[in-house]
Amino acid sequence: MAFRVSPEEDAQIETAVKLTGLTKQDYIIRRLLERDVVVQGNPRVYKALRDQLAAVLDELRRIETGQGVNDELLDTIQMIATIMNGMQEDFAYDR
């Protein structure tokens, strides 16, 4: 199966894939089948979160200069918040 996406959509998919730690194929299949995407914390996921948070911070600094917020940034922030909330819940259950 093959399909085309815009460069912006590809960047958004790549960001989601990195943040979940899944392969692109696994991520797309789970999303297409409306299954939950469960993020397992590991060094690769933590690095992706750190890198993506740095990119978000750069965007927020750019916005301070008077430019607008785009929907992709808001989607990325929402995804990071969801992942971080899930990690906090997992941490609470481990205690």
Q: Walk along the chain (95 residues) and give the pLDDT tens digit of each residue.
A: 788 999 999 999 999 998 898 999 999 999 999 888 878 778 888 888 888 888 888 888 888 767 777 888 888 888 888 888 777 655 555 55
Residue 20 in domain: yes
| pTM of this structure | 0.62
Question: What would the two tokens of residue 12 be?
Answer: 């958004």
pLDDT at 28: 93
Q: Which domain holds residue 30?
A: 7-94
CA distance 61 to 81: 19
Residue 1 in domain: no
pLDDT at 79: 85
pLDDT at 4: 94
The distance of Cα 75 from the centroid of its chain, to the nearest Å, equals 8
Residue 27 in domain: yes
